[in-house]
Amino acid sequence: MSRAPWKEASTLISIARSSFTNKSGESLESKTKQLTSTDYRVLMVKRSNLSSFMASAYVFPGGHVEISDYSSKWWNLFQRLGINKETLIKDIRSRVTGPRPPMIQNPTILQEIDTHANEFDNLLIPEIALRIAAIRETFEETGVALLTSSPSEARVVEAYENGDLSKWYEKVRESGSNFINLCDQTNQVPNIWSLYEWSDWLTPTSYGRKRFDTMFYICCLNKQPKVVLDNTEVTKLMWGTPSELIDEHTNKKVYLAPPQVYELGRLNNLTKFDQVEKFSREREKFGVERWLPIISKYSDGAISLLPGDDAFPSEPDLIGDNPIADSNQTLDQMRLEVKNLNRIELRDGIGTYLNNCQLNCGHLSPVSLPINRT
């Protein structure tokens, strides 16, 4: 069986509780001082303009999954802290009773293990490996390590800040496999318990040859951690409320990739940190479905169709063998042809999500926004 034409990736939506003095959103690049009722901030990082994927876009920290994220060495580290393998697998899997996406059921990256057989006789399960990947990538891009040394504290997120980590920061950036060594030397493990499954996005076929099937996790931090940028993959950071970040995008001050726009729209339903944490924890049991946006071009822009939209195909083309033909219609005309909407309209690089239908997996619909016609 040939391997899928995409890589698997893992992303972390980091939510940080705001202090009393940080509710004005001053950490935004716009330096806005307008008070907001939202008592948390979301971390976004800007990809380098030299990046081969989503160059110059603001995204949630994350990246592609590596073989080392599945390494059997992780079992030894968990066991050393008194975390039994069988119990861990049972606990993680019992958290979800709903649909499981392909990257959980049959990870394509595991087709590479024949060249690493000795290390991978006893693989991690995807539910654990993908969480480790999200935590590792977040550390590589921001210097924030979500680690824990005690199973009894496993549900408490620790933004591990220590001068000794600076040397590991460089080593892990050079090779993701060094993340295991970091945890071994500090006698800790990735805090996988603090990550909740949120969504799964597969890059549209129209984006070319570099595509990713990405699991989005969400994590709630009791305080905003110090971030150290790598200045290679990511060059800037921004903390902001969902509405502030969307406004920055709508006003063309920053560029957000469509999945980020949509997920911020979902979070815009929740104004309190405790609400986000509670919803994320309770919603996780309903599982996630993989979403493949279907891109179609129109006279005044493009549409990214999502599952649930009446125009979304019953059998979406995963490979890109049958691209949708361009249309002379406008986006407004196309919208009038359907009843149920779940889409992102793209005009001049600005994405506006539209949804009027109930979503699967107990998920939130994004908060409605005015349609941008500039």
Measured at the CA of 182, the angle between CA 178 and CA 187, to 5 degrees, comes to: 145
What gap in Å lies between CA 155 and CA 148, rounded to an integer?
9
Residue type, 263: E
What gap in Å lies between CA 80 and CA 71, rounded to an integer?
16
Number of H helices, E strands in the chain: 10, 15
The number of CA neighbours under 13 Å toward the Cβ of 309 is 26
Alpha carbon distances (Å) from 128 to 123, 282, 308? 10, 19, 29
Inter-residue contact 146 to 223 (CB < 8 Å): no
The number of CA neighbours under 13 Å toward the Cβ of 369 is 27
Residue type, 239: W
Inter-residue contact 108 to 9 (CB < 8 Å): no
Say which residues have a Cβ less than 8 Å from residue 14's Cβ, sequence separation at least 6.
Answer: 42, 43, 60, 61, 138, 144, 219, 221
Q: What is the pLDDT of residue 121?
A: 67
What gap in Å lies between CA 11 and CA 91, rounded to an integer?
22
Q: What is the pLDDT of residue 349?
A: 80
Q: What is the pLDDT of residue 52?
A: 46
Alpha carbon distances (Å) from 60 to 10, 105, 172, 272? 10, 24, 19, 20
Per-residue pLDDT in tens (0 to 9) along the chain, 374 residues: 456 789 999 999 999 998 643 333 344 444 444 446 899 999 998 876 645 445 568 899 999 999 999 999 999 999 999 999 999 999 999 999 999 999 999 998 887 665 455 555 689 999 999 999 999 999 988 888 899 988 777 666 655 555 567 778 888 888 889 999 999 998 999 999 999 999 999 999 987 678 999 999 999 999 988 887 766 666 688 899 999 999 998 888 888 888 999 999 999 999 999 999 999 999 999 999 999 999 999 999 999 999 999 999 999 989 888 888 889 999 999 999 999 999 999 998 888 899 999 999 999 999 976 555 54
And the tokens for 281? 């924890």
Q: Which domains does the chain have, with CATH numbers?
A: 7-286 (3.90.79.10), 293-355 (no CATH)
Q: What is the pLDDT of residue 12?
A: 97
Name the helix (H) or strand (E) containing 170: helix 165-174
Inter-residue contact 334 to 327 (CB < 8 Å): yes
Q: What is the pLDDT of residue 238?
A: 87
